[in-house]
Amino acid sequence: MEINIEQTPYETGPVESLSEALLAFVEAYDKLQTAINHAIEGQEVEAVQERYFVRFRETLKLTMYGPVSPQGESRASLSLYEIGVVYFPGAHKYSIHKGKLEKALRLRGDDIQALFVQHDGLLPRLCEILPEFLEYEPPEEVYAVALRFLNECRRLTAMWV
């Protein structure tokens, strides 16, 4: 059965604010990383597919870690860390410092928008690599979680556009 990813309905819960949407985005990312790790460790994927999964997992991490330089003069680059979204390698999870995130949204809203939606921002890059991964036909559990993360990316994009 072929699924047109561009026409897949959003399967996300309602949110009241941008802050809540960012929390849902981070949670969906963590679930995707966990699903990929379980598929690799549980040997649910063949050797060739395992190499692809490992590469994809690393590409996701690099995309999420990377800073983005907002367009315009004298605007410092920004990453998730600066807005209170911190990765803990030992736990393989992100954690959000809600106070720091709320303050960043108030004081650097335009820069945060650039971090996520400008042409080289997180969401355009994620919305490019996730459909490619889904077309590779990962196991059903990984597919569902990856699609959910893609939907969270699309929802965040829609909140700023």
Dihedral sign (CA 91, 16, 131, 65): negative
Span between the terminal Cα atoms of the chain, in Å: 32
The continuous run of DSSP H or E covering 86 comes out as strand 85-88
Model pLDDT for residues 30-80, shown as the tens digit of each residue: 999 999 988 888 877 777 788 888 999 999 999 998 899 988 767 888 999
What global pTM score does this model have?
Answer: 0.85
Domain locations along the chain:
17-160
Model pLDDT for residues 110-125, shown as the tens digit of each residue: 899 999 999 999 999 9
d(CA 48, CA 68): 32
d(CA 60, CA 63): 5
Q: Are 127 and 154 in contact (CB under 8 A)?
A: yes
